[in-house]
Homo-oligomer: A and B are copies of this chain.
Amino acid sequence: MDIWTFTQDGYREEDIVTNGNRFLVGNGYMGFRGTMDEWGRRQMAAVCLAGVYDQNGDRWREPVNAPNGLFARLTVNGADMALGAEKPLEHRQTIDFRRGVHKRDTLFEPVRIQSERFASMAEPHLLRSRLTLTFRQDAEAELLCGIDTDLWDINGPHLFDYTYKTSPFLLTEARTGELNIPVAAAQNASADFPCEETREAAETGVFRRLRFNAAAGQTYTITLAACVFTGLDGPNPGERAQALCGQTRGFAEDLTAHEAAWEAVWSASAVELHGGGGEAARSLNASLYHLHSIAPRHAQSLSVPARGLSGQTYKGAVFWDSEIFLFPVFVHTEPELAKTLLRYRIDTLPGALRKAAEYGYRGAFYPWESQEGGAEGCTDYNVTDVFTHRPVRTYFRDKQIHISGDIAYALWKYYEITGDDSLMREGGAEVILQCARFYLSRAHRRADCDKTELLDVIGPDEYHERVNNNAFTNQMAAHCMSCAIALADADTDFARALIQKLDYDADLALLREIEPKLRPVFAEGALIEQFDGYFSLEDASLAAVRSRVLDEREYWGTNHGVAAHTQIIKQADVVALTALFPSLFSDQTVERNWRYYEPRTEHGSSLSACMYALTACRFRRPDLAWEHFVKTASIDLSGGGKHWAGEIYIGGTHPAANGGAWMIAALGFAGLSVRNGEITLNPCLPEQIETLRFPVCARGKRVTVTVTRQGWTLE
């Protein structure tokens, strides 16, 4: 089997949404959904931009889709050769993970349409496609191609005041509604055959109309280049888009540069997995493909939305996924990318300070759903009740306070793994101190005893809202405090200056008092209660809870959800705690908690299985890990994951699972651990895997790790 491609034969309307995700191409700057050349809004065709947001009225703020400059629709003798409108005799869609190229091959009665598409990994503003039309009969053909501005939007429209140009290249310019950010798309086209071309601006975009008389048996090739710039890239995006159009080389040359850039990516991070019949290797390749397609290589300070660049779901916001599930891949393979993610948090500290103040706290309370500038994208109502169609008050925004600790955790990890304190000096230390200050002001002491608590929180398991003393959260907060103390104890000039700048002396004294009281005590071998009172909840089986569901789209959490008052949890919580703080727990403790919580976990989040796989390796049961690895790695191939939360669409690609797949392979199966640039390995290979080989970047040098049943080597 070809472990570097995925192909789907045949066309089914119900696959449109999933295939849009599965066959996505992207380069971090933008993502192009895996739709047909001739599709538009209805089929959720979209060019999803990274980091450009807009809010229309009081609806959710979400990322902006750029106009689609690769739009191309063929008419043959007046008949529309559009998949869905015209029934195909054959249809096949392929994604090439290694090269980052999407292909379609559709045979209609009169013509075969083939196309290739990529989002250039060499030039972030460039999309390219090549259409190859092979006629089976003489015909009058017309190809409408250009920039489609009739965009898929969940809470749009977001672009207004369109202007169009038709020369030298097609150009659309518009502005976002909220912040007036200009968004420009230009298009160039080149046909290898004589045709009559007209250009026109229409209500839904600006187009070329290529008319030609096609001959049976003859092949006609058209290449398109689409260039996208926004006001966030600098001034005059329209001119820059046109200029780039003018600079594009032939399709083949652009493809070569694109492929070379992908090869560089793979050389830094490809995991060779032998065994398991190829399926596992392909899933892992798919996972890393999707991750790299959205990694912000073009930026210095940007992070990755929870559904990548596959759409506007989850408001295009950055969650803890970035620090806990994506950061590990990057810090071990391309540390500059890890820095880019974390710089986003450093640069959005003002938003976190504002959010804390809004709730009456000090320090930095990072957004649960971070948008541009650290604006909180999470609303108070995140679910729509399927029974009443009314919005449901959820508490993700206000109570999921572990987010600040997660960010401090990643900042500290970067320092621990790389031994590089540059991020700390560039603002990371300040973030940690402000997060610790937030926890200080968020913590309570019981009035009549010495207990310190974090009350009314949501842990990783979102089905249980407003709980007290979530073990994960308390540990994450205490860890954050201890990092702040360690920074201060380093007693460098830098630390002293920072403490003075932040007026932090009193906080530091208080941290030394509070941190040991807040830090949970984990007794050896003990079962850890997820939060106060968890063990007193109804211990219903997952099947029992599932049987109470009346509508498959209903949300299991909030006060009314079927899981909320049972021990059924959405995702790894205590188990995530044992995964992230391995040194605090013996293998036996990890196993005991794993065995208690695993059957009680719905794995309703794509962030769950990875933690269970990692920890199963910890207690050397790769057989238990394997199933969770397969589930994690194959999620975007299989179209798995939840698509609905109440009545809200939450589908898309799953970057956290993509990163999780790498974590399981490298940190779990290979047992990779890097500290201060020193690599150690503790392999735990499942029987399905014979060899695992992957590069690791340590102290700026690339080392190749090879793990076999016999042992491991470093090159």
Contacts and interface: CB of A to CB of B under 8 A. Distances in A.
A188 interface: no
Given A455-B456, A456-B456, A392 B559 contact: yes
A152 to B, nearest CB: 31
B441 A388 contact: no
A560 interface: yes
Contacts of A565: 380, 393
A445 B513 CA distance: 15
A443 B448 contact: yes
A564 interface: yes
A444 interface: yes
Contact of A448 (B440, B453, B532, B560): B440
Given A390-B548, A560-B385, A565-B393, A447 B445 contact: yes
A453 to B, nearest CB: 7
A179 interface: no
| Main SS class of interface, A | loop
Contacts of A387: 387-388
Nearest to A558: B559
A532 B510 CA distance: 25
Contact of A445 (B444, B456, B466, B507): B444
A362 B447 CA distance: 12
Nearest to A538: B380
B456 A446 contact: no
A558 B510 CA distance: 37
A543 interface: no
A404 interface: no
Given A388-B387, A455-B455, A447 B559 contact: no
Interface string A469-494: 00000000000000000000000000
Contacts of A85: none
B447 A447 contact: no
- Which of A446, A562, A564: most chain B Cβ within 10 A? A446
Contacts of A550: 388
Contact of A510 (B448, B453, B560, B564): B448
Contact of A559 (B388, B443, B444, B559): B559
A363 to B, nearest CB: 9
A455 B559 CA distance: 18
Interface string A425-466: 000000000000000111111111100110110000000001
Contacts of A392: 559-560
B444 A446 contact: yes
Nearest to A442: B447
A514 interface: yes
Interface string A500-511: 000000010010
A444 B447 contact: yes
Interface in A345-389: 360, 362, 380, 385, 387-388
A435 to B, nearest CB: 14
Contacts of A390: 548, 560, 562
A443 B452 contact: no
A441 B445 contact: no
Given A443-B447, A448-B510, 10 more contacts: A380-B565, A390-B560, A440-B447, A441-B448, A444-B447, A445-B446, A448-B507, A455-B455, A456-B456, A456-B466
Interface of A: 360, 362, 380, 385, 387-388, 390, 392-393, 440-449, 452-453, 455-456, 466, 507, 510, 514, 532, 548, 550, 558-560, 562, 564-565
16 contacts: A360-B532, A362-B448, A387-B388, A390-B562, A440-B448, A441-B447, A444-B444, A444-B445, A444-B446, A444-B455, A445-B447, A448-B507, A455-B455, A456-B456, A558-B559, A559-B559
The 9 nearest A-B residue pairs measured at CB:
A443-B447, A444-B444, A559-B559, A387-B387, A440-B448, A441-B448, A445-B445, A393-B565, A560-B560
